[in-house]
Amino acid sequence: MSKAARGCVRIVTPVLLLLALNLPTTRCGYQLTGVLDDCFCDVESIEAFNNYKIFPKLQKLQERDYFRYYKVNLKRPCPFWADDGQCSIKDCHVEPCPESKIPVGIKSGNYNKYSSELNDGEHVEACDQANELGAVNSTLSNQSKEAFIAWARYDDAQDHFCELDDELSPDVQYVDLLLNPERYTGYKGPSAWRVWNSIYEENCFKPRSVYRPLNPLAPSIGGENGESFYEWLEGLCLEKRVFYRLISGLHASINLHLSAKYLLEGTWGESNWGPNPLEFKRRFDPVETKGEGPRRLKNLYFLYLIELRALSKVASYFERSIVDLYTGNMEEDRETKNLLLEIFKDTQSFPMHFDEKSMFAGNKKEAKSLKEEFRLHFKNISRIMDCVGCDKCRLWGKLQTQGLGTALKILFSEKEIQSLPENSPSKGFQLTRQEIVALINAFGRLSTSIKELQTFKVLLHENSNIG
Ligand SMILES: *[C@@H]1O[C@H](CO)[C@@H](O)[C@H](O)[C@H]1NC(C)=O
Ligand SMILES: *[C@@H]1O[C@H](CO)[C@@H](O)[C@H](O)[C@H]1NC(C)=O
Ligand SMILES: *[C@@H]1O[C@H](CO)[C@@H](O)[C@H](O)[C@H]1NC(C)=O
């Protein structure tokens, strides 16, 4: 693509967003490219649509039994490097991390069992805390457990086109997502860094010749020609750039959740969670991030539009009477489905869409191999999620990558979806319960991110008024 073709664009230009954050803006300074040209979007419309229309409905939908229980295998070993154990927080010297049974009151007081062994007991404390916050609460009522057996029987009787092998593993368990909200866990440091690093470095189509650090802020050594990170990105074909944007958007979204549901200081023991504007600024403020923050948020919007597009495309699959959202309670199932269809209608009424037709539109053979490469890279990223050292982070990482994977599957199956027979099980295109649950909850997370952004804007605005 020529430089000119990538010029100034009308679309997801986050002018409004930047204004709200009190930033200098240059109207055409953003290198938005390609596909987004086909979408007449502005941030304000997306926000209004999301925050007032979609978000409240999604919240309701996610509380439904069908959507609140996610089947997941959290015990799969990391296929790429030796597991570094549960305790992966920075500077935690204890290996393996002690299963602390000390009551919280004692732990946070002056007495610390480990402080004599280690000069700095704080590390252990931080480690314990990370373990505790990162643990998944696998409590399920007996009633739910019984229901799952019926669900499995029902699902097995369906004519599934393909089975995700994960579902067959004995380690697969149901997790109640409402009991395990995604929020700050203290999981950071080398282990977390390694996961994101390998996603960016090894799975984002990075050409070998280009030295490109995970953090585009790192001193740019450049590639062979000394090119900068963004020059490198611009040089990629549309599809690869899209891939990078999706990953970056996902990363931004996850960081937004952690900033919005932060463990607030001084409340450890009482577990008080809320927005932390400092954390938000650290990750997204244009000055503090040297311009990276707005780019990350832009990618978040981009990801949002992609998943929104997928939802609008898959509507006809669900509109068929043969697809139900089975939990065994007919009344509730019908209501759940109606709510879902209502949300699909909303997504279809939203005029600003990403046009995926321009993806993989090149010559047929090339497009096919690119699509396959895309798929493999993505699959690999979902396997990297098995390397996340904190169960709760792993749970949400897996769910969100599976949700995005499902969205991509939908976008690339448009023809198959259109030609589905009305009243017989489809052979060509099918979604498993797990995929459906992941798709909706992953989109729910993005929707929440957009909503949380608004919260931060208000908070930061208040702060600046006070200051
Ligand atoms: C898990 O959730 C249940 C239900 O809210 C609660 O009673 C229990 O204390 C939780 N367990 C842990 C370890 O937090
Ligand atoms: C759940 O089932 C277990 C074993 O079947 C039983 O021991 C327990 O009392 C049950 N709990 C409730 C709340 O019914
Ligand atoms: C998958 O990811 C791992 C870990 O980052 C990497 O070593 C490997 O090259 C990747 N494989 C593919 C096919 O991208």
Has residue 293 been placed in a domain?
Answer: yes
Model confidence band, residue 119 (pLDDT cutoffs 50, 70, 90): very low
Has residue 435 been placed in a domain?
Answer: yes
Residue 393 annotated in active site? yes
Gap from CA of 131 to ligand 2 centroid (Å):
27
Has residue 342 been placed in a domain?
Answer: yes
Has residue 361 been placed in a domain?
Answer: yes
CB contact at 8 A, 223 and 232: yes
Stretch among 13-27, 130-144, 349-363 having the lowest mean pLDDT: 13-27
Has residue 166 been placed in a domain?
Answer: no
- Predicted local confidence at residue 103, as pLDDT: 31
Mutation probe of ligand 1 site: the residue of 136, 138, 139, 271 with most atoms within 8 A of C-beta: 139
Residues making up the binding site for FAD: 183, 185, 196, 248, 251, 283
For 204-271, the three-class secondary structure string (H helix, E strand, C coil) is: CCCCCCCCCCCCCCCCCCCCCCCCCHHHHHHHCCHHHHHHHHHHHHHHHHHHHHHHHCEECCCCCCCC
| pLDDT tens digits for range 436-463 | 999 999 999 999 999 999 899 888 887 7
Has residue 129 been placed in a domain?
Answer: no
Residues making up the binding site: 183, 185, 196, 248, 251, 283
Give the number of the ligand closest to the Cα of residue 142. Answer: 2
- Average model confidence (pLDDT) across the chain: 73
| pLDDT tens digits for range 182-191 | 888 877 777 7
Total domain count, the chain: 1
Axis-axis angle for helices 292-319, 277-284 (nearest 10): 100
Q: 384 or 10: whose pLDDT is higher? A: 384
Model confidence band, residue 205 (pLDDT cutoffs 50, 70, 90): low
Q: Which domain, by its residues, includes 444?
A: 3-66+183-462
CB contact at 8 A, 392 and 136: yes
Residue 376 Cβ contacting ligand 3 at under 6 Å: yes
- Predicted local confidence at residue 81, as pLDDT: 81
* Cα 344 → chain centroid: 20
Has residue 134 been placed in a domain?
Answer: no
Has residue 271 been placed in a domain?
Answer: yes
Q: Burial-class residue 339 by CB neighbours within 10 Å (0-12, 13-18, 19+).
A: middle
| pLDDT tens digits for range 343-361 | 999 999 987 666 677 666 6
| pLDDT tens digits for range 297-310 | 888 988 999 899 99
- Predicted local confidence at residue 268, as pLDDT: 55
Gap from CA of 179 to ligand 1 centroid (Å):
8
